[in-house]
Chain A
């Protein structure tokens, strides 16, 4: 094999720029575990680290004696599902955002670009108006999100036969605006004492409603979609080169696009249905990850999931630690917006 004499190191180079670096991975995973353990300690009922460890060990059958009933209940039934939900929702939103940014070849799109958040918002508002149960609200939000994206896809096709990406974004914009208007309408007709606060708080996002059943319902579509995205990582990576180029490099772009939109939509709809509308994670996290490890999707996808989960968990800890519940969506925006501005300032020096 002919090698450039001036660059002997090139042979030993890892194929993807900065991808799969052990230190990054180890660091991210350790940080996440520490954060998750620390998160068990936050909240109105004081719990000590040994108590947390014992309750968890008891749950997994490692020890005979699990400490007090109260501590076990706080750790396993209240804080545990909530911590898991924060990791799951943050990770899924960031993974969906990273996918959409590659698909649309635009670093500025978020998981809600095709209207899934607005649709889910309306679904939930409708559920709350009809006074259905918590699980019903989740189901309606999930269906509403899928319906909105289906509408956007149909509309995009009507605008443009071949289905160009730009018309798809415009269609998403139209559908979002429409469903947001419907959300506003349902707020107006809602009973201001019994229903309006519920709708408002749902739309602002929060993880306080989580129980293990809701968590499991969301986990299934998220995990399945996540696995599909991981399987397609190289194709998603090559898609960032451009549509025509990806096609001529052997990628079935039309089919890939359908699969990616389906996966990202399922993930986002599942997230929104249990957490309400939590913005900024899907937009911000992939940027930070690309700054850390470069744009290779095989690295961006899993690290976005890790970092997105960590980010949302930290923000949710803040929401819980601040005493009264501050809605999660408000906090992610309060923290995410300035952080994003900072990332862009740094990125301009680093990339553009």
Chain B
């Protein structure tokens, strides 16, 4: 169980971005963190990961305080998939994934055969075994994301935290990453991700946690929480939650920002009348 207890986070010396946040995430569950740019999603994730200290409150993982744990012990329980990554040197994909085994190595030891196998299995598990020898910096965005996910798998931690794992991915790769995350959840791991797409919270069957201007909303099951009114006020633009009724996607919920098209649907009509 990952628990935030009356947590306040923010940058040092500035007022907190988020105050008194309390929520928990159990193994086998998923949570999606939504909020506008600059609302503190990444800061909250970094605090949960123990990368920055909270301004107040506590983060616990199975009753142990995350900020008081030795890094290796923390890493065996919680893995991180960052958003944008640029390693200093041109590492191969396999080397990147093998780094995920760091927390399992004995002091002064190189990775053993078991670690090599774990890294290889993580790659196979995500169906990217063929990338092992490729250079990480030569991969596409989607392949990079899957590589970092494989590294988190190799780390073999029950909690996986992802910062916008689908940002800048095309639709095909979004599907790939999300189905990998669903598989993690099925295997009994806890998945916590930030996202800008409410559909992704639904796709993951996640609880949604919204960072609003005046505090948190949720966590609550996405189907209940993600409604037109709340999302409209969250992003400051009218958003309509629409349930599809026809076709293979019947029953799915989609979220339509009304002002994405100028004056809604009228433009379409005008164009027709002219022709």
Contact = CB atoms under 8 A, between A and B. Distances in A.
A and B associate: yes
Interface of A: 1-4, 6-7, 10-11, 13, 15-17, 101-102, 105-107, 161-162, 231-235, 237-238, 240-242, 244-253, 290, 294-296, 298, 350-351
Contacts of A295: 88-91, 95
Contacts of B151: 249
9 contacts: A3-B124, A10-B133, A102-B88, A105-B88, A241-B88, A245-B80, A245-B85, A248-B75, A250-B155
Interface in B65-105: 70-76, 78-80, 82, 85-92, 94-96, 98-100, 102-103, 105
Contacts of A294: 90, 92, 95
Contact of A238 (B51, B90, B102): B102
- A interface: dominant SS: loop
A1 to B, nearest CB: 6
A1 B116 CA distance: 12
A162 B46 CA distance: 15
A290 B111 contact: no
A328 to B, nearest CB: 29
B108 interface: yes
Interface of B: 12, 46, 49-51, 70-76, 78-80, 82, 85-92, 94-96, 98-100, 102-103, 105, 107-111, 115-117, 120-121, 124-125, 129-130, 132-133, 135, 137, 151, 155
Given A238-B102, A244-B82, A250 B75 contact: yes
Contact of A242 (B70, B85, B102, B120): B85
A110 to B, nearest CB: 15
B132 A250 contact: no
A240 B88 contact: yes
A351 B90 contact: yes
Nearest to B125: A2
Contacts of B12: 161-162
A101 B88 contact: yes
A235 B99 CA distance: 9
A338 to B, nearest CB: 23
The 9 closest A-B pairs by CB, nearest first: A250-B103, A250-B75, A295-B89, A4-B129, A248-B80, A105-B88, A250-B72, A351-B90, A249-B102
A304 to B, nearest CB: 13
Given A240-B88, A252-B71, A294-B90, 5 more contacts: A3-B129, A241-B88, A249-B99, A250-B72, A251-B72
A241 B129 CA distance: 21
Nearest to B107: A231
Contacts, number: 133
B94 A17 contact: yes
B102 A251 contact: yes
Nearest to B85: A242
B71 A250 contact: yes
Contacts of A350: 90
Nearest to B87: A241
B78 A248 contact: yes
Contacts of B49: 247-248
A246 B90 CA distance: 17
Contacts of A251: 71-72, 102
A237 B88 CA distance: 10
Given A7-B132, A15-B115, A251-B71, A245 B82 contact: yes
Contacts of A298: 110
A10 B90 CA distance: 20
B183 to A, nearest CB: 14
B105 to A, nearest CB: 6
A303 B250 CA distance: 61
A240 B74 contact: no
A54 to B, nearest CB: 41
Contacts of A296: 95
A258 to B, nearest CB: 14
A15 B115 CA distance: 9
A4 B113 CA distance: 17
B87 A240 contact: yes
Contacts of B103: 249-250
A9 to B, nearest CB: 9
Contacts of A238: 99, 102
